[in-house]
Structure 1
Amino acid sequence: MAIKIYEALRWASSFLQEHHRDENIGELLLCHRLQLSRASLFAEMRESLKAEDWDWLQKQIHAHVTGMPVQHIIGSEWFYGRKFKVNPSVLIPRPETEELVQAILQLKKEHFDKGAVSYCDIGTGSGAIATTLALEDPKSHVTAVDISPAALEMAKENAKSLGAEVTFVEGDLLSAFLGKATFDIVVSNPPYIPSREVDQLDTLVKDHEPRLALDGGADGLSPYRLICQQLPHVMGPKGLVGFEIGSGQGAAVAELLESHLGDRNVKTMIKHDINKHERMVFAVFGKK
């Protein structure tokens, strides 16, 4: 006898709860599998589920509870209202990073009025930040850099499918631009987890997302030190820098920005995310 959709979801919810996973993952997976919206899925709750779809759901739920991120199962994640493809070569976009982009766009309006600017997204990964900036501020030019060729391929695919014009460069942080380019705005969500803590992360993260995008060195600050050393060589007299940071790193990152941009009358700001955690550090310098 065929199982009903509501029965399949009830099983999924119970199984996920038992394994301390989000009980709503079953809905997300079935919506993806059946190509239905959540509302349409609820409307068909008493319909029978095909045997192959029921087998698929069970297989994916088991994969998820043993560590597979749901985003890798369905191959995408939403960011700033747009669907980005993801795979194990890139960090899965997080809601906190949406707040970084939102803040950068607001500070850009305040600091540069409505004029076109040049952005640089360091460690672009899936291209979520760069593509979003290009689409939200289409008059400006966006450059994105990553050391990983595989990540760049994914970022290029996302930019193309979403219709964003972004210049992609393979390189280590800002090294490729030293003495060759000048940016108005530099933004980055670099690796910021201390090395010793990476192996303590949930299996969803440590076993399925690139360590290159997670490990920030002994104290989690290594990428910030290197970027801040390079900033004076790729930015003009007026600029904006925005970093995503880990918990408790705000003061240290702000101090790095001030020490390397201090001769430009720099002002730094530490901002919290929606959950009231330190999440972003910004530096503005030069007159409006």
Structure 2
Amino acid sequence: MKIKQYRTQFIKELSAFYDAYEAESFFYLILEDKHQLRQIDLALNHELTFSESDFVIWDSLLAQLKKEVPIQYLLGKTNFYGLDFEVNENVLIPRPETEELVEWIINENAASNKSKKIKILDIGTGSGCIAISLAKNLPNAEVYGFDVSKKAIETAKRNAINNKVDVTFLFQDVLALEELRCNFDIIVSNPPYVRNLEKVEIKKNVLDYEPHLALFVDDNDALIFYRKIAELAKKNFIENGQLYFEINQYLGQETRDLLENMDFKNIELRKDIYDNDRMISCKV
């Protein structure tokens, strides 16, 4: 069968699960990953065909997409802030909103990083996307990443190697810490922040396949990680240390109030590309 014909069939079979644009994007992501062919290649050569062995691979991927397994897990990778990252069931799939958080940190610290070394800690590092992107773009930074999942740490370490940066990743339950072992210029975290009451809003591909450990918090103490990390930051920041969080869009004011009550200064709450309260920064 010609690839162009299979493309039509592929998109049609996914129409009950995804819109046509998303289904088409899946097709071209797989086409490039498995065959090193781009959309332009197919447009220029309508006679390209799949072999029998190709169909086995494609039909398997199609079956899993119908179960709404994330395409990033099926391919084992995704792109974040211009870098390629391995992703698997042990780590969250990096989101565009988190790229905005990384951009914010880089923009505010790139100039000073040229003249002095800074020490950065990423808490709940997952795939290492934040820590590695910062290390890549702030070359004088000494970067660390903590996570409570050993398998996530293993993934992050591979991602650091693949992206040719030096980041120290450590297995650590931040809620069990009384203090950090050294002082930091910047602490950043995208901790679990989705309340159980919000599960009804979560798509099946996230709810069924991404790690709940990295997603959900108890409804009765939704800011537990923010409070704990802010307490640690108070003890282990250098002068003018900066704290950055990705936050629950429904708890922007509550997160601001928490930081104000802990006497943090220069608190700034920002919206993401979807106009949701998504990130906040402050200084000691």
Q: TM-score, normalising length from structure 2?
A: 0.92
8 Å CA contact 1:196, 1:218 repeated in 2: yes
Q: Does 1:230 align with 2:228?
A: no
8 Å CA contact 1:71, 1:92 repeated in 2: yes
How far apart are residue 283 of structure 1 and its match? Answer: 0.7
Residue in 1 that maps onto 2:106:
105
Runs of at least 5 residues in structure 2 that lack an aligned partner in the other structure: none
Instruction: Find the residue that maps to 1:13 and give its secondary structure.
Output: helix
Deviation track 1:183-204 (CA, whole Å, cap 9, x = no partner) reads 1101111111002333652221
How far apart are residue 73 of structure 1 and its match? Answer: 0.7
Instruction: Find the residue that maps to 2:18 and give its secondary structure.
Output: coil
Q: Distance in 2 between matches of 1:174 and 1:282?
A: 21
How far apart are residue 114 of structure 1 and its match? Answer: 4.3
Name the amino acid aligned to 1:273: D
Q: Does 1:77 align with 2:78?
A: yes
8 Å CA contact 2:91, 2:152 repeated in 1: yes
Residue in 1 that maps onto 2:10:
12
- Pick closer, same or farther for the CA change 1:28–1:50 going to 2, 3 Å: same
How far apart are residue 115 of structure 1 and its match? Answer: 2.6
Residue in 2 that maps onto 1:192:
193
Runs of at least 5 residues in structure 1 that lack an aligned partner in the other structure: none
- Alignment map for 1:258-273 (pairs within 5 Å): 258-262=260-264, 266-273=265-272
8 Å CA contact 2:17, 2:68 repeated in 1: no
Name the amino acid aligned to 1:181: C
How far apart are residue 112 of structure 1 and its match? Answer: 6.9
8 Å CA contact 1:122, 1:174 repeated in 2: no
How far apart are residue 158 of structure 1 and its match? Answer: 0.2
Alignment counterpart, residue 239 of structure 1, candidates 238, 241, 246? 241
Q: Distance in 2 between matches of 1:118 and 1:18?
A: 48
Deviation track 1:54-92 (CA, whole Å, cap 9, x = no partner) reads 232122122112121101110000001111001000001
- Pick closer, same or farther for the CA change 1:113–1:56 going to 2, 3 Å: closer
Identity %: 32
Instruction: Find the residue that maps to 1:180 and give its secondary structure.
Output: coil
How far apart are residue 209 of structure 1 and its match? Answer: 0.9
Residue in 2 that maps onto 1:275:
274
Residue in 1 that maps onto 2:182:
181
Deviation track 1:210-237 (CA, whole Å, cap 9, x = no partner) reads 1011002215322112212222112122
Q: Distance in 1 between matches of 2:199 and 2:124?
A: 18
Q: Distance in 2 between matches of 1:118 and 1:174?
A: 21
Instruction: Find the residue that maps to 2:253 and give its secondary structure.
Output: helix
Residue in 1 that maps onto 2:23:
23
Q: Distance in 2 between matches of 1:50 and 1:163?
A: 36
How many pairs were matched up?
A: 280
Name the amino acid aligned to 1:257: L
Instruction: Find the residue that maps to 1:47 and give its secondary structure.
Output: coil
- Alignment map for 1:1-288 (pairs within 5 Å): 3-21=1-19, 22-24=22-24, 25-109=26-110, 114-173=115-174, 178=179, 180-198=181-199, 201-218=202-219, 220-262=222-264, 266-285=265-284
Q: Distance in 1 between matches of 2:28 and 2:46?
A: 11
Deviation track 1:138-176 (CA, whole Å, cap 9, x = no partner) reads 111001000110000000000011111101111112755
Instruction: Find the residue that maps to 1:23 and give its secondary structure.
Output: helix
- Pick closer, same or farther for the CA change 1:174–1:160 going to 2, 3 Å: farther
Q: Distance in 2 between matches of 1:35 and 1:56?
A: 15
How far apart are residue 13 of structure 1 and its match? Answer: 1.5
